[in-house]
Structure 1
Amino acid sequence: MPPNYAAARGWESARTMILALFAASVLSTGPPPAMAAAMQPSATCLRRCGDIDIPYPFGVGPGCHLETGDWTFMLSCNRSEDGRLRLYNYQIEVLNMSVRLGQLRIYNIINPWCYNATTRAMNDQSNWWYDMSITNFRINDAQNRFTVMGCNSLAYIRWPNDSAAAYMTGCMAMCPGVGRLNNGACNGFGCCQTAIPSDLNAYSVSFEEKFNTSRIANFSPCSYAVLMEAAAFNFRTTYVTTDAFMTNNDGQVPLVLDWAIGNMTCEEAKRSASAYACASSNSECIDSKYGKGRGYLCNCSAGYDGNPYLLNGCHDINECEDARFRYPCSVPGTCVNTIGSFYCACPHRTTGNAVNGTCEDEKNQIGWQIAVGVSSGVVVLIVTATCLYMIHEKRRLAKIKSDYFKQHGGLLLFEDMRSRQGLSSFTHFTQEELEVSTNKFDERNVIGKGGNGTVYRGTTKDGTTVAIKKCRLANERQKKEFGKEMLILSQINHRNIVKLYGCCLELEVPMLVYKYIPNGTLYQLIHGRRDRGVPRVPLALRLKIAHQAAEALAYLHSWASPPIIHGDVKTSNILLDEDYAAMVTDFGASTMAPTDEAQFVTFVQGTCGYLDPEYMRTCKLTDKSDVYSFGVVLLELLTCRKALNLGELEEEKYLSSQFLLLLGEDRLEEILDEQVKGEQSFELLEQVAELAKQCLEMTGDKRPSMRQVAEELDRLSRLSRHPWGRQNSEEILALLGGSPSTASEVELSTSRNISFTDTAYIGIRSPR
């Protein structure tokens, strides 16, 4: 590290200074030995500079420090001036050093970047740099953090070269307002901190100039960036609004460095007795944590303390009297020190345990032994009774699980599974497995609640993320049919239907285990994005999702055996995967197409606003009931309005009735979403509206089948992507995950090297 490193301008000038300094050292001292013989310091060597002790292998002057072929252990002390300890030939002040930890604490320069009121612009940056490659120091990645302070201040730690992309880490301190700043909280508001890579011995610091502070100069005129010891930092709001961070710390803060001996491993160093630095006979060698070829450290053996680099430097610790240690024996006056250890012994004519018990007179031992015998007998009886009770409870719990398994049709399910092919992927999960995967069904893992039950996010023992649905309490008929219905659902294999992995039948309430779908529901995509002020979804994507959902429902109605009626089609039951493909879920584990007239009569269930009026009137659930509900889903996609709004007038409460009224009066434009009116031809929107109208016919026989709906949506979806449309597929993806103008607008954007969050900007890439 050059003496004037804080003012250096660029890596090339820094490299020139290092080479010049190194050449001067070679001319004055001669070539340094590759690994000089292990030496001992003279008794006249300076061992204290100011108020700082200087333990060997560090030293000031020739013959006072360990020679390792570099400048790691050479220090300088100017007692005639400031009396401060510094690294040899550097302007870097040393705070303290630890032989046991192999660490050195120094002062590191704070890097400011300020607004110039005269030029009305930010001052030029100095590209501060730091280099320890000519020593065996490494920057400790566990105790140090890269810290940035200011308003909208983005700074990086880079490799010390001119490549703008060669950064290692960085973060951004946002400035939402002085009211959001809090003392002690370095959380991205006014202050951010980030970890640094391991094995780091050189870096440079620079600010991103497009995030300048000229707009908030009156509030926060300066930004600061520095690599420093995390434990020595306590954020104050005045560090953002004033220059208190610089003035309070005299422009420098602590930094922790790791050091090691030479560049050999312990095994290699021991082969050269003259060069082996662990001089004390009671010492041991430890390889550097940074890997082979990074040197080694010496420590005193267990029971010894001192300096392992000095002859006889490690001396016995008197554990019985050393004030640094808690008295090691439970009975006072029983500790006996030995070389390298100690032991606890009860006094003469007493017995007991002086290590972690008591010492008593021998005559008291007989009564004590009788008491211990009686107590032991009581304990044995209690333990035996407890074990018997636990065995009984375990058997009772196993019987309960077996009964529930039979009630839910588990025997029928697995008997049929053995007789069929291709069902090996369907799994029966145990109660314990699902409790472990959801942390005992912790409320923090809940990802959805509905009329049919609660859905939890979990992770199976093989690392697969799943959605676990805990069904509502079933009636007796549903319990008997549950296993048969699980067998049917396990055979469904459609790209737009959520895959059922398995179930758990050991509980009173059965549970289903589905594939986890990451991008939420269609309801959240339509209504949630608008609530957060994010642009709505393009019509082309809406029609693609609608077509895929229609294909899934058509599959359930036409090709499943027996056919399945979903019974609760709505936007919150259509999930979106990582590619925004529709995945229909919650399609009713107990709703199969009826096979006789008696099965038509059922308890009306579903979601208000989506329910088929004919179903509510006749209590007959048919596949055309799903068609009606899907028509409401189409209306939500066209209008971005909710299916039911209790806050509106009676005639506007239901989206379906309001739509049919306006369509009948030729006022369709009034209910359409403003975005889709601006991006597609009105003729296309009229065709989508006409399809929705057909789905919403009051009589089920007049409604199209889901297969017909899917075919029409396929045609309309292809029309929306035709070149005469205003948005192509790339623009659709850009609207969902394109470059944001501010960090708060980003919802789906990602980058290989840089990621935005609401509070900080952090980018990490492996060094070249």
Structure 2
Amino acid sequence: MKRWRKTLVGLMLIIKIAILSTAVVASSQALAGCDEWCGDLRIPYPFGVKQGCHLNQTFLITCNKTNSPPKAFLMDTDISVTNISLHGELHILQPIVRYCYEQVQVSDPFIPNATNLSVPAALPIADGKNKFIATGCNTFGLFSGMLKGSEFLSGCISVCTNGSAIVDGSCFGNGCCELEIPKGLTNLSLFVGQLLPNETNILKYNPCGYAFVVGDERFKFDSTYIQRFEDEEVEVVVDWAIGNQTMNVCRQNSQRISNFSDDGSQYRCECLDGFMGNPYLPQGCEDIDECKDEKLNKCKYECINTIGNYTCKCPKNFKGDGRHGGEGCTRDSKAFIPIIIGIGVGFIVFLIGSTWIFLGYKKLKFIKRKEKFFIENGGFILQQQLSQWQSPNEMVRIFTQEELEKATNNYDNSTIVGKGGFGTVYKGVFEDGLAVAIKKSKIVDQSQTDQFINEVIVLSQINHRNVVRLLGCCLETQVPLLVYEFVTNGTLFEHIHDKTKHASLSWEARLKIALETAGVLAYLHSSASIPIIHRDIKTTNILLDDNYTAKVSDFGASKLVPMDQTQLSTMVQGTLGYLDPEYLLTSELTEKSDVYSFGIVLLELITGKKAVCFDGPEAERNLAMYVLCTKDDLLEEVVDRGMMVKETNFEEIKETAKIAKKCLRIKGEERPSMKEVAMELDGVRLMQVQRSWVDNNSLSNAEERVCLLDVEASDSSHFIASGTMNNTVGDSIKASILSHIHHGR
């Protein structure tokens, strides 16, 4: 029994040795019967140590076994080989050229030492895998060769200003410098020399300089190299390939690669995907068994190796691809169809139920959020205030969020009609056809809720025909939304400055717009139940309807002035060019700030120029300064050339310009009130009416016309000078002015 056991153990040992021997043979990189190792260096075919073991003389490796350990040399040279790669790289040792100051003849201090790299022409320097290095203090290194048939020379300088500037690993000129080697450079020669050989301190600090070519990953600068660098040789990477004159040596399961060579005169062999080994050996590349290594396959279940690839088997009753991330395995049985249908129906029911619950929760959350915004925006307080009004038919309407979203197609960009510093204006159309303008603010300030409510109440009571009427508001959003009547003919800014959209306004139309705007501001300052300072009067906030009637809009920056106050301390807000300079300096807001802004509007109507424009001459960039610095006799030069100005109405323009200059006085207390401005503009309008009477009346009524004009002209001039009127004609003019100012509830 023991004998059979010993026999069995012996047979198993023999089988194991045979298997190991087969594995060694299969993984050998050399030809059969050839040495594969020289010391620690593995020598794969086409390289070989002895005759018949290498492809040709270029691939001969001489193994000197007298050294300990044995040392490999390239062909019959003394070039040491340290590594051979089947990917076309050969690592060899090359000498360092050095220059030591103490060995230099003082008479020839600048003659460098030189050496040639002993690299065979068939093994060019590997492109992008080597660099030229020069180390030392005040050392220059050069390298030369042949590049595309021409001589090539380059180099770098390594200096030492002080010891602290030399950093380990840094090779940018302090103690060490480096250069890239151009692709295709051959016959490489190296030179090294010194710049200041007679400097004693340099000699003491840095006795030698060095230059060499080395592989990118084979050298890291160390500051100690400045004083001592003991290496005699460094490792250089060269390329090797098979010449085209040699018959194709790529074996089974490999392919020929020649795109690495510019002229295609050389090639290499590499294994196909799914194969490994030496593509130059007679047996070629061998199949990789991906199933033996989980890192090489992506099978979820069972792996089956195939030639050059592998497949993944699905478990029983499944079919398809068992790879991770692939098509996956699917059941291959009709018996499971009812189960799948049941699961599907159950899932659909679950999905519908979950969706219903989610939508219900979302709707409830939406309602809660609207209620929260309604309370935060003062909705209950506003409703309480509105319920106390005596005229319920004129109450401001509180719109719902859904109404406004439907009217604006969910605030689509196509419905935007304007953007400003305080928000965006959308055009909305309700189901009854009513067109409205909806202003959506950019920011919300909870501390301003009470003021917002007061503003809504006050503005909703203003029924002035020259104020854009506030129809209502929406408090169910994060920022309150204001709903105004929609004005169809654009802004005054567009009519003055954008001639591509609108024809130029006549002087008569401009004066009418100025008078209507002045009347609105006078009403807001003097006749509203609570005085209002607009704070952002400009041509973009004056809208025009189809009859060119002015409509003042955008009360987003407006301030309500308590009856017992004449000014407010507030953060400066407004538009560049229209901003009252006194308000800008003091932050004290008064009704005279609106007067200043209106003066700029008057100048725009007269000149056709923008309040601030950086495109023209420097003197004309600020409209107020430009006109104020223009002499009265030169006023005609600044009048808008697009406006048909007759000699008969130029006096009206001059009078209007005088009014504008009064409005633009630096001190607010020196400016007229808006009521005074409106009265003076109505006086200018009277001059226009008188001129119209003269032009239109027939000659048969000449005497009656002259008499009437004499009386009215004298009274008008007296009104313009003193601001009061005491006769019959004066009373009629005053009534006309008051109709402009007080045309509201």
TM-score (norm 1): 0.45
TM-score (norm 2): 0.46
**With CA pairs under 8 Å and 6+ residues apart, which has the higher RCO, 1 or 2?**
1
Structure number with the higher helix fraction is: 2
